[in-house]
Amino acid sequence: MKNSLAIGITFLVYLIGMFAIGVIAYMRTKNLSEFLLGGRRLNFFTSALSAGASDMSGWLLLGLPGFAYVAGFEAGWIALGLFVGTYINWRFIAKKLRVATVSYGDAITLSEYFENRFNDSSRLLRVITALFTLVFFLFYTSSGLVAGGKLFTSVFGLSYIWAVTIGVSAIILYTFLGGFMAVCWTDCIQGLLMVLALVLVPIMAIAAQGGCPATFDAIGNTNSALLNPLMSRDGNPLSLIAIISLMAWGLGYFGQPHILTRFMAIDSVDKVPQARKVALWWVAFGMVGALMAGFAGVGALEAPLSEVDSEKVFILLVQSLLHPIPAGICLAAILAAIMSTADSQLLVASSALTEDIYRPFIRTQASQVELVWVGRAAVIVIALVAYFLALNPQNKILDLVAYAWAGFGATFGPTIFLSLYWKKMTRLGALAGIVTGGVTVVIWKQLSGGIFELYEIVPGFILSTIAIVVVGVFTQSLKNEN
């Protein structure tokens, strides 16, 4: 009880700090551009940490350590894919997207950028982009709420429903108030807290076992296959499909709206290289820490965890190793990870409803004040739908994230990449790519066995790229003939 009280006070102090930031940002938010994109005023450090924190979410402290706990070195393929994807995204997308969104009508959403880039007077691109954004963000946001539910249930013994309710209420409140700047400022703080916890806890867990050799010996004694990155946990060689599927997480970066908006919001393209360095170091420390937490949990926890409970390994390490006050800080890092992604997702989904549906089709003459309040109302509506999706305690965080990640990566990734590098890309090509990528992910997810065990982002990304090129070349040739 004493431990729970100390941890609860730490949580409360943390939440009060986040709400204070929301209030300050509320006072500075005057128009829709500031609410959705912060007026493009992010410095390189905030942009980098905000992109990382909003990217990784609760799965970095719960899902990935849990997967490392049950799968061993196999989990390293995901981390490697994500690190490479982070580098490519910052190196080849960030600067060009920042320049392009300003050049094409100072677009503040991806939908608006696509519409302006391809001169789409039908507004079909904007609507389809907004609809796919809403669908996949509902699953993505619900994964954060599931993570929050597991956190509050494990730490305070709350019922799962009450735990999810508390989590969604906290996220709604400061996202509703402050918009993009509140999200980015809090993301920066939360990103630092997350990496601190991911460095501290594994070091302590490994030290408590007598160092890395003892930790890996404990894993080997449990299941020697876990120490071989080319072996699955059942002792069979890891298939090529499995390795490609794990590495393919890196493909998802090019289409994640909540990450791409950080590129759009950085105050100067000249700051992108600095931001890239910060982002890569943050991801490297975070990934290695998450993997090591899962590995350390095998020997550090007295009772082995079932696969269903494996995502609690980081929480249990914190509770068993740390005094209540530092434990509260590290557990607040999990809450930080959850909030830093869920708030970003809610904001981008809100922008899809407000900027891409409400303003163009419902109230074309709406004032900036009205649009900001519609955006805030959209945050509540979207959060409530995600809340109901999250009420099943059997949901696995990594599974929900994987589906949404694949959805965005395949739906928008090829379109973003080619729109920045292929000048002859056409409107119909972009439409074909978005629809093909999104539909492929949805259908592929429902199938199983053989080639269908391949992570759905791979066929979605490939088929989307083919559709863009084939339709683009065909429509371009028709245009030339006429």
pLDDT score for 142: 82
- Taking alpha carbons only, the member of 56, 142, 194, 149 closest to residue 349 is 142
The contacts of residue 211 (CB under 8 Å, 6+ apart) are none
What is the structure's pLDDT at 269? 85
Tokens 């997967």 locate to 67
Per-residue pLDDT of the chain (482 residues; tens, 9 = 90+): 446 677 777 777 777 776 676 666 556 655 555 555 555 666 777 777 777 776 776 678 888 999 999 999 999 999 999 999 999 999 999 999 999 998 988 887 788 899 899 998 888 888 888 888 888 878 877 877 887 787 778 777 778 888 888 877 777 765 655 455 556 666 677 777 778 888 888 999 998 888 888 888 888 888 888 899 999 888 889 999 999 999 999 999 899 887 888 888 788 888 889 989 999 999 999 999 999 999 998 888 877 888 777 888 888 898 888 777 777 777 777 776 676 667 666 766 777 777 777 776 666 666 766 776 777 777 778 788 888 888 876 777 768 788 889 999 999 999 999 999 998 899 999 999 999 999 999 999 998 888 999 999 999 999 999 999 999 888 877 666 55
* Residue of 27, 55, 71, 9 lying closest to 311 (CA atoms): 71
Residue holding tokens 């609690």?
312
| CATH class in words for 2-398 | mainly alpha
The H or E element spanning position 473 is: helix 457-481
Q: Quote the pTM value.
A: 0.83
Task: Give ∠ CA 159-164-167 in degrees, rounded to 5.
Answer: 125
The answer to whether 82 touches 249, Cβ cutoff 8 Å, is yes
Q: Where are the beta strands (DSSP E) in 121-243?
A: none
Give the separation between CA 171 and CA 34, rounded to whole angstroms.
19
DSSP codes of every residue in 269-325: GGGHHHHHHHHHHHHHHHHHHHHHHHHHHHHH-SSPPPTTTGGGHHHHHHHHHS-HH
Q: CB of 153 within 8 A of CB of 159? A: yes
Q: Extract the tokens encoding 37.
A: 């994109």
Single-letter amino acid, residue 181? M
pLDDT at 444: 95
Q: What's residue 1's pLDDT?
A: 43
Residue 481 burial (10 A CB sphere; 0-12, 13-18, 19+): exposed
CA pair distance 215, 217, nearest whole angstrom: 5
User: Ramachandran region of residue 223, left (φ > 0), alpha (ψ -120 to 50) or beta?
Assistant: beta
